[in-house]
Copies of this chain bind each other. A is one copy, B any other.
Amino acid sequence: MSRVPLTRKGFDAMRVSVIHTADDIVREHIVNKSVVMFDILRASSTISTALANGCQEVIPVVEVDEALAIASRLPEDTCILGGERSAVKLPGFHLGNSPLEYTPEVVAHKTVILTTTNGTKAIRRAAGEDGVVLIGSLLNYSAVAHKLFAAEQDILLACAGTRGKFSLEDTFAAGLVVAELVQLWYSRHNAAPEESCSPQADPVPIYAEEVPVLPENGLLLEDAAVAALRLAEAYRHKPLRALYDALHGQKLAQMGLSIDLNFCAQLNLYDVVPVYREGKITCL
């Protein structure tokens, strides 16, 4: 592996970027960065749940045939095939893509082979050729933020998006990570965050001549990270509302999957930090 994103020392400013759709990721977005992928509805939530429930590893694959081929090479009682297309379970698979199916009874000590419409592709894209990607969800965002902060490396929060478009729920989750990073930064510097949780300088009064400075030795939030932070502030006390304000959440609800939205909207249910490297997702 040429990228070891969680070990760099002696950082000055930790730059936080957010990208809204996995399709937009190119190599310069990810090199020398800690990268997190968010696909809240539902791949990220399912992966976090499977690992929290004792699954040994999750192998994310893009194509159904590839999933079946991997399964055929493993002993039958050690592996679970999970996945969906257009939110519907695949024929011949053990499980769909609802985190509620990935119970300890079903997944403990097993290898889960997972293929989803959007999320597994997004993981591969966020990893590049040889990279490491953390998996973030509402269920574990605080644990993810702590790992990122400890890594002292520039950060890319990569939202999977929905069919190549901006996704409200993924950006909300990215914003919760930004909010947690801001809190951690203020804790380290023994300062109280201001009401709006932004590390940027306050605006100068109308027509004053002073110039605000960028924070040094701190967090540098790119504009998309600030916007995600504001989204997190809007929804942090009503996370389920964010999922219902999202078109993909509304679509899942119309398919009878409200129960999945309720589950995926739980904040910090788990401490697990799933990490993808060398083709597999395990706990960091």
Contact = CB atoms under 8 A, between A and B. Distances in A.
Interface of A: 18, 20, 162, 165-168, 171, 196, 198, 200-204, 206-214, 222-224, 226-227, 230-231, 233-235, 238, 240-241, 243-248, 250, 253-254, 256, 258-259, 261-262
18 contacts: A20-B20, A165-B222, A166-B222, A166-B224, A171-B227, A196-B234, A201-B244, A203-B243, A204-B244, A204-B253, A206-B262, A210-B258, A211-B254, A211-B258, A222-B247, A226-B246, A230-B231, A234-B234
B165 A207 contact: no
A178 to B, nearest CB: 12
Q: Number of copies of this chain in the oligomer?
A: 2
Contacts of A243: 203
A198 to B, nearest CB: 6
A209 B262 CA distance: 10
B201 A240 contact: no
Contacts of A202: 241, 244
Given A18-B166, A20-B20, A203-B243, 7 more contacts: A200-B245, A202-B244, A206-B262, A209-B258, A211-B253, A213-B254, A230-B230
Q: Which 4 pairs from chain A and chain B are nearest by CB?
A: A168-B223, A166-B224, A230-B234, A203-B244
Contacts of A210: 258
Given A211-B253, A212-B253, A226 B245 contact: yes
Contact of A224 (B165, B222, B238, B250): B165
Contact of A223 (B162, B213, B241): B162
A166 B245 contact: no
A263 B42 CA distance: 44
B231 A227 contact: yes
A214 B247 CA distance: 9
A254 to B, nearest CB: 5
A14 to B, nearest CB: 15
Contacts of A231: 227, 230-231
B203 A238 contact: yes
Best-surrounded residue of A235, A240, A256, A258 (most CB of chain B within 10 A): A258
Contacts of A168: 223-224, 226-227
Best-surrounded residue of A204, A224, A230 (most CB of chain B within 10 A): A230
Given A206-B262, A230-B230, A234-B230, A256 B166 contact: no
Contacts of A254: 211, 213
